[in-house]
């Protein structure tokens, strides 16, 4: 019987169990887990949101192998009032730098969120500048290159201030506060791999 955990990773937590300096790791939130349970993929230290941990190697392969191209949605707070032109560029794919080489991102779904997505304040909060507005966008990708969302929003002139992975497939972090997790059954497999 495989184990599946849906975790809402807080800001400034490493996606690993091993210690690294004085940074918080997953070991702070998970105790007594089987040694075979690992996080699926990564969320950067300065990113937040949905992280799956499991010992199901087959599911891990399907979620990480680019050929399966599953959907993941991010809520992104960007610097400035995002324009329709920027959203169109994000949707059609933009050229970013990966390992020093240009890379054209795949088509995505980029939408302006008309209100704060209701995730709650970040601790510590993002910097506040009275004269420069911020915007929230929803960005759905089918690929996961290193720091891709941040590189994409910067490429269209709206640097990322806050990045939250909201969902993978049909699994999301609704009702799970940062630092909390829920354990679920293997019915989660179909939800994670589902197309929206």
Tell me, yes or no, if the two domains 1-67+170-196 and 71-168 fold the same way.
Answer: yes
Name the band, by pLDDT with cuts 50, 70 and 90, for residue 42: confident
116 flagged as catalytic: no
Higher-pLDDT residue of 81 and 192 is 81
CA 74, 76, 79: angle at the middle one, nearest 5?
165
List 75's β-bridge partners, or say none.
Answer: 138, 164
pLDDT tops 90 at residue 121? no
**Mean of the per-residue pLDDT values of the chain:** 93
- Given the residues 44, 79, 116, 187, select the one marked as catalytic: 44
Specify the range with the lowest mean pLDDT, choosing from 57-66, 122-131, 186-195.
Answer: 122-131
Closest CA relative to residue 142, chosen from 107, 189, 183: 107
Could you give phi then psi for residue 26, rounded to 5 degrees? -65, -25
Residue 2's alpha-carbon distances to 16, 27, 33, 36, 153, in angstroms, are 20, 20, 12, 10, 37
**Residue 27, pLDDT score:** 95
Q: Domain 1-67+170-196: give its CATH architecture.
A: 2-Layer Sandwich (3.30)
Residue 142's alpha-carbon distances to 16, 39, 40, 63, 179, in angstroms, are 23, 19, 15, 10, 26
For range 61-65, the mean pLDDT:
89
**Domain ranges across the chain:** 1-67+170-196, 71-168
CATH number of 71-168: 3.30.70.1560
pLDDT tops 90 at residue 118? no
Name the band, by pLDDT with cuts 50, 70 and 90, for residue 193: confident
Name the band, by pLDDT with cuts 50, 70 and 90, for residue 141: very high
For range 138-147, the mean pLDDT:
93
Burial level of 195, CB count in 10 A (0-12/13-18/19+)?
exposed
**Residue 120, pLDDT score:** 81
**Residue 196, pLDDT score:** 60
Predicted TM-score (pTM) of the model is 0.94
Closest CA relative to residue 43, chosen from 186, 160, 164: 164
């Amino acid at each position: 019987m495989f184990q599946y955990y849906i975790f809402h990773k807080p800001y400034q937590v490493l996606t690993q169990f091993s210690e690294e300096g004085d940074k918080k790791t997953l070991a702070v939130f998970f105790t007594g887990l089987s040694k075979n349970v690992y996080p699926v993929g990564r969320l950067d230290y300065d990113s937040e949101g949905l992280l799956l941990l499991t010992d199901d190697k087959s599911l891990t392969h399907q979620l990480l192998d680019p050929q399966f191209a599953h959907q993941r949605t991010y809520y992104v707070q960007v610097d400035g009032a995002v324009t329709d032109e920027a959203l169109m560029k994000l949707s059609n794919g933009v050229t970013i730098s990966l390992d020093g080489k240009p890379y054209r991102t795949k088509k995505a779904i980029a939408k302006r969120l008309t209100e704060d997505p209701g995730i709650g304040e970040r601790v510590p909060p993002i910097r506040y500048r009275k004269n420069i507005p911020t915007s929230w966008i929803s960005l759905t990708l089918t690929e996961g290159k290193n720091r891709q969302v941040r590189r994409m929003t910067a490429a269209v002139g709206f640097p990322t201030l806050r990045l939250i992975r909201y969902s993978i497939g049909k699994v999301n972090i609704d009702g799970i506060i940062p630092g909390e997790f829920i354990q679920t059954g293997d019915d989660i497999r179909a939800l994670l791999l589902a197309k929206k």
